[in-house]
Amino acid sequence: MRKAKWVAAAAGVVLLVAGCGGEGGSGKNKGGSSSESATGSTTGGSEAGGGDSPDAAAVEKEIEAAATAAGFVQDSSGKGVPEGLKTCMVSWTADAEKAADPKKSYDATVKTLSGGGWTEGGPGTEQAGSTIKTLNKGTWSLKASNHGATGFSIVMFIGTDNTPQCEALFKADLEKNKKP
């Protein structure tokens, strides 16, 4: 039960940081890369990204490939992305307990993504056993987070598409879920 509370708290922090207007959230392709995803799928040019941008399925495949190559398996016990946001958001959580060294696997995953056309959007944040890095590709921003302390480790990758259409969907979802 205690681990579940930590997972929920860490997910809340990541989602807060990954929100629509977070660092790298302008939708600009900071690295200038116009390379296609590993699957070759793109949504075409976008006024927000200024070039080719992967779709949600391609982003998820890239994260899955990089994370599993680094020694992670997906923890599918968490909540998924809401149905109405699946074209605009990807969430991939590692079962960090099954990784030999979660920190090394996290670093290897970020390195693989960076070599696959994702560019780091700044130095990242490191504080109290947590690391959060922002990666950008086309109109997508990816928050890669590693939260570790004695007895638990949580590794998550949350990607959001920052096109105006997706920002409108995120805002509508927030309004729909507001408590009266």
83-102 pLDDT, tens digit each: 889 999 999 999 988 988 99
| Gap between the Cα atoms of 132 and 120, Å rounded | 11
29-73 pLDDT, tens digit each: 333 333 333 333 333 333 333 357 899 999 999 999 999 999 999
β 140-149/89-94 pair status: unpaired
First to last CA, the chain: 29
Provide the residue ranges of all domains of the chain, joining segments of one domain with +: 2-176
